[in-house]
Amino acid sequence: MSLLKQLASSLGTVVGILTLLVALIAAILTYFDSSDPVEYPSMAEDMKTLEENFRVQNKSCFILGASGESGKVLLQELLERNIFSKITLIGRRMLTFEDEAYKNLVQEVVDFEKLDDYAAAFQGHDVGYCCLGTTRAKAGAEGFVRVDHDYVLKSAELAKAGSCSHFHLESSRGADKNNNFLYLKVKGQVEAEIEALGFDRLSVYRPGVLLVDRVESRPLEWLSRKFLSAWSSVFSTSMAIPIQAVARAIVSNTVRPSEQKSEILEHKHIAALGKGAGN
């Protein structure tokens, strides 16, 4: 009897995996991005010049969410390209780094439930990067809204009051404040509310599925990411993008001049900018 239960359980797992793969293939075929690719003329040649021009301005920045996958990779990209004279990490705990490249980082530990008490941590930064985020599965509906909306919005408000001129927000493909899906609705709401704060420049990034091996990934989540990674290496889709490409795009967009006060970079724009920066 026990053997039969094990076989049934194994069969259920296999069926679940196959179902997931079929669903993923269907989703990719449905949402395959057939639009013309976005191009950034001469970007590879100009990027070094743009970075140097930006570097000599001796600007400073802060990163929210540097302990997460997106923030971690963004920090690595910023350190490698060395465009800021000072980088501050704002988070709920001190982070430990062994590499020598991290030795000059400044860290500010805050309580996100009492952010007004830590307003000083947000003062004096020219550029701000927000990679804060969680999931409903991990934090519950209430916890998700608290992190992805409340913490993010309050941080943006303090950054604006602290003279931050360029704020970068990592959002999600499909973000829409009128969407019935909680995740996309919250993402859209916080985008709109931060835009209303009136930063000199606001850059919102809406990538698709981020390709990264999360430590806490469930087996099926891990499998789906591997599948999308393999697929995206052959086909250009609007579904997935390597997290490194997103970080490259964000840093490249930081040094690129823009006449727009508020800009939204959709998935294909991020992919093009991230790919060009990697050349």
Residues with active-site annotation: 183, 187
DSSP 8-state symbol, 126:
S
Q: What is the 3-state secondary structure (H, E, C) of 38-73?
A: CCCCCHHHHHHHHHHHHHCCCCEEEEECCCCHHHHH
Please name which of 200, 169, 198, 181 lies closest in space to residue 264, comparing C-alpha atoms: 169
How many residues are given for the chain? Answer: 279
Q: Give me the numbers of helices (H) and strands (E) for the chain, helices first please.
A: 9, 9
The three-class DSSP label of residue 239 is: coil
Instruction: Work out the number of other CB atoms within 10 angstroms of the CB of residue 161.
Output: 12
